[in-house]
Chain A
Amino acid sequence: MKLIQIAGYLGSGKTTLIIALVKALAESGAKIAVMVNDVGEIPVDGRVMQEYGLTVKDIGGGCICCQVAGSMMKTLEILSREQRPDLVIIEPTGIAVPESIRKTALLTAARTHISIGPTIVLFDTTRAEKLLTYETLQRLVATQLSDADIIALSKVDAAPEETITQAAAAVRGMNPSAEVLRLSVRTGEGISDLSRAVLEMSIPA
């Protein structure tokens, strides 16, 4: 059971990407479960994704540091025991710190035999200036990007090329070791690269 994180600031397109990825990954025959925790939007997102025949687990509310961590571990253990998916895609809340989610998941390793796949962090290019310059957003965005294995520059179909180029340079500066790619769920750009990475990439624990 491999854990894939689709993280990123609020509104960066996480749920839309997950739906697209699940459709793409369906061809591989992989059995997929999705865990969602997007404050205030869980029921809607959950219903949308269930329409694609997925196992969708809500990991509930509470303090992201502990209540959500406990709930997430419990859900992983139940999934491992009862559903045995090949891939678990987790969509944490838009203010979550990916590294904390990864560490929490690893605490279940003894029971779930979980392996860690890539942490994909979305960066919304249509809001690049805000995300990079607003004092109240910079910290969170930088923290999330620095934890990424793959940074997906999302909504590239809707942003000027110049902005995308600048955003790519900025995010590379924040996390030089991450792979940076362009993503547009609308046009399909980047989806096959991401689905390949999801299936093939493993991150040492």
Chain B
Amino acid sequence: MQSIRGRGIPKIKRGKVTIRMTPKERVLQFLQGEKVDRPPIFSGMGNVIKPVLDRFGIVFSKVHRDPELMARAAAGMYREFGFECAVVPFDLGVEAEALGAKMSFYDDVEGLLYPTIKEKSVKSAEDVRMPADLKNSGRVPVVTGAIKALRRELGDEVAIGTYVLGPFTLAGQVKELDELFEESFLEPEKTNLLLERLSDVIIALSRIYREAGADYVTLREMGGTSDVMSPKSFKSLIKPHLVRILAEMPRPSILHICGDTNSIIADMAECGADALSVDQKNCMSETRQKLGPDTLILGNFDPIKVLHKGEAKDVGPAVIASLRGGASAVWPGCDLWPEVPRENMEALMSALKEA
């Protein structure tokens, strides 16, 4: 077996990929920095596509509120395509809703729309209180119910993943964004208190998910991207909270930030996650050079341009380019848009076999 740590991505030999491990063993051993037979093909973010929804007759707007449907959809990605994980939930509103935000699920909209937050619940840190019964707040029981169902159905074969939002991203979900940005400059101590309280909720939620049966948790701090926040602000305002969350949340953990991350990648590495996840805007070769061979780096594979809008024949080369560029596994750089064509998903799954 070959090491897949860092630069030690296995040389992919044509026709010589041997399946020796279950997807669960492969993913979890990989995240623990152990040797695996080949890079896993998985995600820690939302992934369900229409062939799976259609097969089970699942309406997208309903999948977010029913644990059985949620589990069936997540399991379908493994059963239908062999995607080596089962990840729930699919949207980004679970935490905000547990804290009192009101959601729109777009039941009456034809086609696919992700839920949005229609009513924010927080003006200041004082408004953020740990729910007395977080396990049963909002849609938390939907997610834990889905995790338990996945554990029951697939727990021996497939790693069960879940995700929580980072504190700054969550702050933008529960509080008006312009107020958040202004307060974080004028009265950073107030924002710090807000992020601290949100971090408590995030840590508690990640533990609830682990207790329900999640094998790994991704911390998604999209608001921390350098497209939005300067590296200086990321370092002073956001990073300390990420460090605490990652120290206290279950492991293995992955820290994901999208957009331009090259200027904060060293700080991301210092946050303490077992692996880092970036999207296609990251220059992976520069990142690998900066972080050295031992850091697990995921992503840098474009789920929109390549997987959703690209042609099947282009998927395999993009996967290989991502690995050769320095990525440690095959991991789309963000959620999968549900209209990824079946043939592209199949091409993703066969990319390593055909390499």
Interface residues, chain A, CB within 8 Å of chain B?
A: 9-11, 39-40, 42-43, 58-71, 73-74, 78, 94-95, 97, 100, 104, 107-108, 130, 134-140, 143
- 8 shortest interchain CB distances as A-B pairs: A70-B337, A61-B116, A60-B113, A62-B114, A66-B334, A10-B178, A134-B185, A139-B230
Within 8 A of A (CB), among B247-282: 258-259, 279
From the candidates B93, B120, B182, B259, name the one contacting A65 in the complex (CB within 8 A): B259
Minimum distance in angstroms from B52 CB to a CB of chain A: 16
Contact present for A71 and B112 (CB under 8 Å): yes
Q: Is the CB of A11 within 8 A of B230?
A: no
The residue from B177, B233, B338 contacting A95, defined by CB atoms under 8 A apart: B177
A40-B119, A61-B115, A67-B335 known; A138 vs B230 contact (CB < 8 Å): yes
The minimal Cβ–Cβ distance linking B65 to chain A, given in whole angstroms, is 15
Counting CB contacts under 8 A, is B39 at the interface? no
* A61: B residues at CB distance < 8 A: 91-93, 104, 113-117
Q: A-contacting residues of B (Cβ < 8 Å)?
A: 46, 91-93, 104, 106, 109, 111-120, 172, 176-178, 181-182, 184-186, 220, 222-223, 226-230, 232-233, 237, 258-259, 279, 303-305, 308-309, 333-339
Per the bound structure, the CA–CA distance linking A45 and B326 in Å amounts to: 44
A134–B258 Cα distance when bound, in Å, is 23
Contact call A42/B116, Cβ cutoff below 8 A: yes
Residue pair B303, A39 in contact (C-beta under 8 Å): no
**Closest beta carbon of chain A to B133's beta carbon, Å:** 26
Q: How far is the CA of A61 from the CA of B109 in the complex (A)?
A: 13
Contacting residues, chain A, for B104 (C-beta < 8 A): 42-43, 61
Q: How far is the CB of A131 from chain B (nearest CB, A)?
A: 10
Report whether A63 and B335 are in contact in the complex, using a CB–CB cutoff of 8 Å: yes
A73 touches B309 (CB 8 A): yes
> A71: which B residues are within 8 A, CB to CB?
112-114, 337
Is A97 in contact with B259, judged by CB distance below 8 angstroms?
Answer: yes
Q: Which of A9, A65, A104 has its CB near the most chain B CB atoms (within 10 A)? A: A65
Question: Which partner residue on chain A sits nearest B113 by CB separation?
Answer: A60
Specify which of A43, A59, A73, A140 is in contact with B118 (CB 8 Å cutoff): A43
* Residues of A contacting B120 in the complex (Cβ-Cβ under 8 angstroms): 40
Minimum Cβ distance to chain A for residue B123 (Å): 13
Cα distance A65–B227 in the bound complex, in angstroms: 11
Give chain B nearest CB distance to A25 CB in angstroms. 27
Q: In the bound complex, do residue A70 and residue B112 qualify as a contact, i.e. CB atoms below 8 Å apart? A: yes
Q: Please name all residues of chain A whose beta carbon is closer than 8 Å to the beta carbon of B339 when the two chains form the complex.
A: 70, 74
Determine whether the beta carbon of A70 is less than 8 Å from that of B228.
no
What are some 24 contacts across the A-B interface (CB < 8 A)?
A: A39-B117, A40-B119, A40-B120, A42-B104, A43-B104, A60-B113, A65-B222, A65-B258, A66-B304, A66-B333, A67-B334, A68-B114, A70-B337, A107-B305, A134-B185, A136-B182, A136-B230, A136-B233, A136-B237, A137-B181, A139-B227, A139-B228, A143-B227, A143-B228
Known A-B contacts A97-B227, A104-B304, A139-B228; the reply to A64 vs B222 at CB < 8 A is yes
Question: From residue A35, how far is it (CB to closest CB) to chain B in Å?
Answer: 12
**B334 lies within 8 A of A140 (CB):** no
